[in-house]
Structure 1
Amino acid sequence: MGQRTPLYDLHLALGAKMVDFGGWDMPLHYGSQVDEHHQVRSDCGVFDVSHMTVIDVDGRAATPWLQYLLANDVARLDGTGKALYSTMLNAQGGVVDDLIVYRTEGGYRLVVNAATRDKVLAWLQAHSSDFAVGFEERAELAILAIQGPHARAKVAELVSASRAAVIRELKPFEGVVEGDWFVARTGYTGEDGLEIILPGDQAPAFFNDLVGAGIAPSGLGARDTLRLEAGMNLYGQDIDEQHTPQTSNLGWCIAWEPAARDFIGRAGLLTEIEHGVQEKLVGLVLEERGVLRAHQVVRVAGIGEGEITSGSFSPTLSKSIALARVPMATGDRAEVEIRGKWYPVRVVKPTFVRQGKILI
């Protein structure tokens, strides 16, 4: 038996197919993964993501500590509520985890991956002794992600006037405290929406309210195809400690300035640049029938080979798509080996769908 979120019994009551995900019993779907995917793209759906780890950071050295720990620079958060995406690196520049950081009134809030919880908490502890800083895991909290073009409008109709005002005024990549709720607008589907961090004992009733209002309960299956279409990396597949942000389409979240900021992994990244970055993360589209899957070999004529990191059938495109790490010189065509046969694929920028628009 895995760990369970406060919504476990409710998932069963709604007919969810439960699976193990990083040691947690989580809903894969509630009947049709494809229907849930389309519901989020066209309207909205709600995901239980309470398995993710919330960590609050405080202390007078909180800012320099996170500037040391993260590749992105929390000094860019110029006001309470502002958020940024970052990677946390090891000394060689490999990705320990990817996370969202929010600036709060008393410090910072980190939301990190469920599968990396133990590793990240140990990493924070190991690198905190030289800083006047404290951090606390908030295991009593739950997280609901309501995603889709109508998500904010529908949720605003279900909550108090003060919370509705926060939802309507919230800007992208902001998180605001409202009572004992923390309401954010980041997302992992390529659509607009909300993440609501709230006490775990309040989560089942609110989830019920959302479903009762016609917001589709959605599982990990749809979450994966949605994030893949949006070109968003999954830790453990598209990013890991053996690969740097520069080989994972995440160079944009490295803050190189100020040059004096010596964050963990900076030297490793600079060494990689000095020797020449050898790989890149691209998108693949299979024009023929078939399914692209992780670990399939990608062959680029006259250049070399790579590997698919994430692949699936895209419900929006009605084609199989993938993210793949390939040689830097790869152009717009390649081949993928599927069951012993080679199939041509088109190489594209690793963002297929955003805000309901097909981009390839």
Structure 2
Amino acid sequence: MGSRTPLFSEHERLGARIVPFGGWDMPLHYGSQLDEHHAVRQQAGVFDVSHMRPVDIQGADARAYLQRLLANDVAKLQQPGKALYSCMLNAEGGVIDDLICYDLGSNRYRAVVNAATADKDLAWMRARAEDFRASETEHASPNPSAPALEIHARDDLAMLAVQGPEARAKVAPLLPEALREPALALKPFFAVEHGDWLVGRTGYTGEDGFEIMLPATQVVDLWQALLAAGVAPCGLGARDTLRLEAGMNLYGQDMTEEVGPLESGLEWTVAFEPRERDFIGRSALEAQRASGDLRDFIGLLLTGRGVLRSHQPVLVNGQPVGEVTSGGFSPTLQRSIALARVQAGIGEQCAVEIRGKAVPAQVVKPPFVRHGKARITME
């Protein structure tokens, strides 16, 4: 038996199919993965993402520490509430995890890390904090009584993602009164905080909506209120097809500890400026860029019959040039789609080996779908 979120009894009550995921027992779907996918694209759906781990980083040295820890630069966060997507790299430039980091103001930040890597991430973050304290003594706190750097896993919080074109309108009336108007006023990739509640206009589906962190003791009430308001409960299956259509990476498939952001379509998340910022993995990424033989990260649209799956070989003229990293059937496009890592410059047409047969595919640039609409031209 895996770990269970505070909503596990709700999932059972709704008849969810429960599967193991990253050490947790989580709902795959509540009867129809397809219906849940379309609910998010067309109305609103809610996902229990309480298996993810919020981690608070605070103190006078918090910003300098995060500038060392993350490939993206938290100095871009110029006002409280702004969010930043980043990879956390090892010394070889591989991805330990990808995460969102929120600036909460007053030298406070919150990182939200993935469920399957949470324990590993937290151990890495704490070890790097000790390294930082040893090597960055010039950042000592001006207040001797205040710790210069603290890292706290917020195991007291639960997390819901409410996504879809109707999500914000359905959520706002159910929030604490002090959050309702500020939440509706949020720009994308901003958040607002009130007490132990944090509402961010972020998500993993390619649709508008909120990700809500709140006390675990209050999440059942919010979940039930959302369902009563007509928001569909959605499981891991729909979350995966939605994020694939949106061209969003999945850790452990599209990037790993062995494969870094420059070969995973995430070069936009690496801040090489200012040059003096020596983030972990920087020298390895610079060597990769200088080598000139980086692989491309592409989208694929299957034009023949079949379903794309991870690890299937990508072929050009019958020869392997890479492999699918994430693949599946797109309910919105009614076609099979994939993300793949391949040799640079393979052109606009290729094939994918499916059950021993070379099936033709079209090379496209993700995302495939955003805000309910196709973003690619299908031949």
TM-score interval w.r.t. the shorter chain?
over 0.9
Give the CA deviation at 1:113.
0.4
For 1:324, what is the secondary structure of its paired residue? strand
Of 165, 179, 199, the match for 2:195: 179
1:251 equivalent in structure 2: 267
Please state if 1:137 is matched with 2:153.
yes
- Residue 35 of structure 2 aligns to which amino acid in structure 1? D
1:111 equivalent in structure 2: 112
Q: Which runs of 4+ in 1 moved over 4 A?
A: none
- Residue 199 of structure 2 aligns to which amino acid in structure 1? V
Find the aligned partners of 2:38 and 2:111 in 1 and give their Cα distance.
Answer: 30
> 1:260-279 residue pairs with structure 2 within 5 A?
260-279=276-295
For 1:54, what is the secondary structure of its paired residue? strand
- Residue 278 of structure 2 aligns to which amino acid in structure 1? D
Give the CA deviation at 1:140.
1.1
- Cα displacement string for residues 255-306 of structure 1 (whole angstroms, at most 9, x for unaligned residues): 1111100101110001101111431211101122211011111112387521
For 1:182, what is the secondary structure of its paired residue? strand
Find the aligned partners of 1:35 and 1:287 in 2 and give their Cα distance.
Answer: 25
2:89 equivalent in structure 1: 89
Give the CA deviation at 1:160.
4.1
Q: Which range moved further: 160-169 or 1-10? A: 160-169
> 1:238-317 residue pairs with structure 2 within 5 A?
238-301=254-317, 304-317=320-333
Find the aligned partners of 2:250 and 2:204 in 1 and give their Cα distance.
Answer: 10
2:77 equivalent in structure 1: 77
Please state if 1:191 is matched with 2:207.
yes
1:336 equivalent in structure 2: 352
Can you give the 5+ residue segments of structure 1 that lack an aligned partner in the other structure?
A: none
Of 168, 171, 178, the match for 2:184: 168
- Identify if the C-alpha distance between structure 1 residues 122 and 160 changes in structure 2 by more than 3 Å, giving closer, same or farther: closer
Give the TM-score normalised by the residue count of structure 2: 0.93
For 1:40, what is the secondary structure of its paired residue? helix
Of 135, 145, 154, the match for 2:170: 154
The 8 Å contact of residues 281 and 350 in structure 1, kept in 2 or not, is answered as no
Q: Which range moved further: 37-46 or 328-337? A: 328-337
What is the aligned length? 360
Give the CA deviation at 1:179.
3.1
- Residue 232 of structure 1 aligns to which amino acid in structure 2? M
Find the aligned partners of 1:160 and 1:101 in 2 and give their Cα distance.
Answer: 23
Please state if 1:3 is matched with 2:19.
no
Give the CA deviation at 1:357.
1.7
Find the aligned partners of 1:91 and 1:220 in 2 and give their Cα distance.
Answer: 32
Q: Which range moved further: 295-304 or 278-287? A: 295-304
The 8 Å contact of residues 56 and 136 in structure 1, kept in 2 or not, is answered as yes
Give the TM-score normalised by the residue count of structure 1: 0.98
Find the aligned partners of 2:344 and 2:271 in 1 and give their Cα distance.
Answer: 22
The 8 Å contact of residues 303 and 329 in structure 1, kept in 2 or not, is answered as no
The 8 Å contact of residues 96 and 240 in structure 1, kept in 2 or not, is answered as yes
Find the aligned partners of 1:42 and 1:100 in 2 and give their Cα distance.
Answer: 26
Can you give the 5+ residue segments of structure 2 that lack an aligned partner in the other structure?
A: 134-147
Find the aligned partners of 2:180 and 2:157 in 1 and give their Cα distance.
Answer: 21
For 1:189, what is the secondary structure of its paired residue? coil
For 2:307, what is the secondary structure of its paired residue? coil
Q: CA RMSD in A?
A: 1.1
1:46 equivalent in structure 2: 46
* Aligned-residue identity in percent: 59
The 8 Å contact of residues 183 and 191 in structure 2, kept in 1 or not, is answered as no
- Cα displacement string for residues 136-176 of structure 1 (whole angstroms, at most 9, x for unaligned residues): 00011000000001100111133344222022111111111
The 8 Å contact of residues 305 and 359 in structure 2, kept in 1 or not, is answered as no
The 8 Å contact of residues 290 and 320 in structure 1, kept in 2 or not, is answered as yes
Please state if 1:125 is matched with 2:126.
yes
Please state if 1:17 is matched with 2:24.
no
